[in-house]
Amino acid sequence: MNEDSNRTNETPETVINVGGAPLQESGSCLIEEPLDPCAIVIIGACGDLTRRKIILALFRLFKSGGLPDPFLVVGADLNDMTTEAYRDFIKESIQSLTGESLKQKDWDPFVSRLHYVVINPETDSPYDEVADFLKIEARDSHLSGNRLLYLAVPPSQYINIIQNLGKAGFAGEDEDWGGWSRVIIEKPFGRDLQSALELDRNIREYFREDQIYRIDHYLAKETVQNLLMFRFANAIFEPIWNRRYINHVQITAAETLGVEHRAVYYEQAGVLRDMFQNHMLQLLAMTAMEPPSVFEADRVRDEKIKVFRSLRPFPVGQIDDHLVLGQYVEGTVDGQTVPGYREETGVDERSLVPTFAMAKVFMDNWRWQGVPFYLRSGKRMATKLTEIAIEFKRVPNLLFRNVLSESIHPNVLVLRIQPDERITLTFQTKLPGARVCLQPVTMDFHYSSVQEGILLGAYEKVILDCLLGDHMLFVRQDGVEECWSFLSPILDACETCRDREQSLHLYEAGTWGPQEADDLMRDAGYAWRTL
């Protein structure tokens, strides 16, 4: 037989000891497609997001060969500074964030691509200078006119900036520029359905949907992406991934941080807009969606949108049975006393903004009819953790009824998204000995035990995907609208109800949120399955 006829397209198997090291190395999963030369324009180049996430991600991508050649980064902001001063500012930021001093050999090749242009807000067209600079540089550096525009500014500025960029011709893919133009926008996309539609109308005046990359950085987390592989690349899970075998699902995104320096934004947002409209509903969609016909951006996004459409409208008349809201008061986190939300700088001392929410939601579709999904997220909680726990139905307790006093615990599958990414499955075994006693044991797989591949941070991944023109991990406008359609009635009910103060349950910082959330679970006969 010809040697080639034995080959398949599969990468070699990685054999994993549960919790141990790979026994056989897997094939490479690195992207090898060439990237188009391009200029990355960061609007809001002196801001926090640029300093803390974007530039660091670009620098890391550059070091691992994940940026095109040639490329250019153009920082644009209102601060009056030179390119030299901007380079120093960025260098200091990276060093203070990583706690390491940069090696000259890493830094020099990167920094020579970094430029700064001042935006002039006094003129009718504040981005003209940026456009002129880019056109000249694009020609001189052979960048083919390709532009990636990153809006690293507060959401309140989106419409104005988009309009100005549009007027300065940044969106055009015509002869004047040549090359493609893509724009990256961070959440939140509006603060309700109306404002999301308004934002979209403004963006679409200049950019087509396929030029827009709406980030939900949770989708770019390795373990979130892995949810689809876990579900659809393994034969054993999909047959039991439905109402016949699953009792309920718990999705937790807990943080130890408070509002930090973002009080102005957070006072307008609260946890429902900040975490539920986007990250929590995206996690739910990845857990609940049907298999797409093909692993392609629009087919995957179509399936997620079907999940959003099947969400049962929230019973706002019985909101207390389905939603618990909380706000943290002073407590201890990581051994440090931390102030309550109302004592944070910039927060109204009588603020009724929730920093914790737990919601019970249902989907009215064939797969999930009757299966509750409990979503919980909060700031200043006991630990930083994002996790999806699937609790399976109990076995009929007939066989052992004469020998076991207790009911048999259900199987629980936990997908830990962060930190310490892992997958665990709990099941029953017999304790050694003459008596019949059961003991739950856990099969535990840690991602860190597979030492293959480059682990990309979420921001590295989104920038890389945008450079590749891959929309898979970005949110489509119809998805944004569906999520707001589901959430807006809840927000209206919470924000306009007469007993708003009584419905906001206080919880001590450093705990798992208000007791009322645990009570809601307990009343249903469940307990949190957090690892």
Task: Catalog residues that contact ligand BG6 under the rule CB under 6 A.
Answer: 255, 257, 274, 386
Q: What's the closest the beta carbon of residue 274 comes to ligand BG6, in angstroms?
A: 5
131 contacts 168 by C-beta, under 8 angstroms: yes
Sheet with 422-430, strands from edge to edge, namely 438-446, 422-430, 412-418, 385-392, 246-254, 373-378, 356-361, 323-329, 504-508
453: Cα within 13 Å, side-chain hemisphere = 18
Nearer to ligand BG6, 386 or 424 (CB): 386
Q: What's the closest the beta carbon of residue 184 comes to ligand BG6, in angstroms?
A: 14
Cα–Cα separations (whole angstroms), residue 247 to 190, 237, 432: 35, 15, 29
Nearer to ligand BG6, 39 or 456 (CB): 456
Q: What's the closest the beta carbon of residue 31 comes to ligand BG6, in angstroms?
A: 22
Q: What's the closest the beta carbon of residue 47 comes to ligand BG6, in angstroms?
A: 14
DSSP class of residue 294 equals S
Q: What's the closest the beta carbon of residue 257 comes to ligand BG6, in angstroms?
A: 6
Nearer to ligand BG6, 91 or 380 (CB): 380
Contacts of 474 (CB under 8 A, 6+ apart): 212, 213, 214, 215, 216, 219, 297, 462, 465, 466
303 contacts 291 by C-beta, under 8 angstroms: yes
Can you list the pairs that 202-206 forms with residues at least 24 positions away whose Cβ atoms lie under 8 Å?
A: 202/158, 202/159, 202/162, 202/163, 203/158, 203/162, 205/162, 205/163, 205/166, 206/162, 206/163, 206/165, 206/166, 206/170, 206/171
Q: What's the closest the beta carbon of residue 202 comes to ligand BG6, in angstroms?
A: 22
Nearer to ligand BG6, 254 or 319 (CB): 254
Among candidate residues 279, 322, 446, 505, the one labeled active-site is: 279
Nearer to ligand BG6, 213 or 368 (CB): 213
DSSP-assigned letters across all residues of 120-163: -TTSSSTTHHHHHHHHHHHHHTT-TT-EEEEE-S-GGGHHHHHH
Q: What's the closest the beta carbon of residue 260 comes to ligand BG6, in angstroms?
A: 8
- Backbone φ and ψ of 473, nearest 5°: -95, 15
Distance CA(349)–CA(346), nearest Å, equals: 9
Query: In 124-274, where do the E strands start and end?
Result: 147-151, 181-186, 212-215, 246-254
- Rounded to the nearest 5 percent, the helix, strand and coil shares of the chain are 35, 20, 40
Nearer to ligand BG6, 136 or 257 (CB): 257
Q: Nearest CA to 286 among 385, 383, 415?
A: 415
Q: What's the closest the beta carbon of residue 105 comes to ligand BG6, in angstroms?
A: 31
| Known active-site residue 505 | no
Distance CA(112)–CA(184), nearest Å, equals: 24
Distance CA(362)–CA(313), nearest Å, equals: 9
Nearer to ligand BG6, 77 or 274 (CB): 274
Nearer to ligand BG6, 215 or 412 (CB): 215
Distance CA(240)–CA(244), nearest Å, equals: 7
Nearer to ligand BG6, 255 or 465 (CB): 255
Distance CA(241)–CA(245), nearest Å, equals: 7
192 contacts 83 by C-beta, under 8 angstroms: no
Q: What's the closest the beta carbon of residue 217 comes to ligand BG6, in angstroms?
A: 6
For residue 387, the cross-strand partners are 252, 416
Catalytic residues: 279
